[in-house]
């Protein structure tokens, strides 16, 4: 059985690039291996033209243990992926993109969470109640990404999120799932909800 998730990530990245969620080299995608290490897109790679050479493999504790190319560097957001996998052992993939809508809605409130509309689409994020009152965790952006990761780890450890997604102000959305397919579905759903919020404004 082939457990290498890189081709799956490449296909997802190509779709997100076409949607304008990963323009230029923005964003990063990762998927976990059976030993709890994870492959993540290397820094500075165009997400519409990825190959298997454009990844690095990171151990659960954060050390780079394999690089498909000697010049590859880990993504700047590697620490966020590491925090998600540490917080949610069932997570097998973590996707972070920079869509326009995610950045717009991140400024709709100054609070630490953003209320989401009670849409049917929330079922795809695991919310199966009538007239749901759900919010997405919102974190401040910092130049030092490990500082963002530390705040994510501290807050979500103390207050588990309602949905498998979080926002960073002016920096994009991060989702996770128990498979790359689940993570992709979660991302498409939250982006739909963000477009709804912008349109309803």
Q: What are the sequence ranges of the domains in the chain? A: 6-200
pLDDT of residue 1: 45
| pTM score above 0.75 | yes
Here the tokens at position 126 are: 């695991």
Other C-beta atoms within 10 Å of 110: how many?
Answer: 8
- Answer with the residue of higher pLDDT: 101 or 69: 101
Return d(Cα 21, Cα 121) in angstroms, integer.
Answer: 20
pLDDT of residue 2: 62
Return d(Cα 182, Cα 186) in angstroms, integer.
Answer: 6
Return d(Cα 171, Cα 32) in angstroms, integer.
Answer: 23
pLDDT of residue 39: 97
Q: Read off the pLDDT of residues 19-63 as tens digits, 9 standing for 90 and up.
A: 999 998 999 999 999 999 999 999 999 999 999 999 999 998 889
- Architecture (CATH level 2) of domain 6-200: 3-Layer(aba) Sandwich (3.40)
Here the tokens at position 138 are: 């919102």
């Amino acid at each position: 059985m082939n457990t290498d998730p890189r081709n799956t990530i490449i296909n997802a990245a190509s779709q997100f690039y076409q949607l304008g969620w990963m323009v230029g080299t923005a964003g990063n995608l990762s998927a976990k291996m059976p030993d709890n290490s994870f492959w993540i897109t290397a820094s500075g790679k165009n997400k519409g033209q990825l190959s298997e050479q454009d990844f690095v493999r990171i151990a659960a504790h954060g050390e780079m243990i394999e690089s498909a190319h000697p010049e590859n560097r880990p993504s700047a957001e590697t620490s966020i992926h590491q925090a998600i996998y540490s917080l949610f052992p069932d997570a097998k993939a973590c996707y972070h993109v920079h869509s326009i809508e995610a950045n717009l809605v991140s400024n709709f409130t100054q609070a630490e969470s953003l209320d989401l509309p009670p849409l049917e689409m929330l079922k795809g994020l695991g919310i199966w109640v009538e007239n749901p009152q759900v919010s997405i965790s919102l974190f401040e952006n910092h130049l030092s990404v490990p500082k963002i990761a530390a705040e994510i780890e501290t807050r979500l450890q103390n207050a588990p999120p309602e949905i498998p997604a979080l926002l960073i102000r002016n920096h994009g959305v991060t989702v996770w799932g128990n498979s790359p397919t689940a993570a992709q579905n979660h991302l498409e759903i939250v982006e739909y909800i963000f477009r709804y919020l912008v349109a309803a404004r």
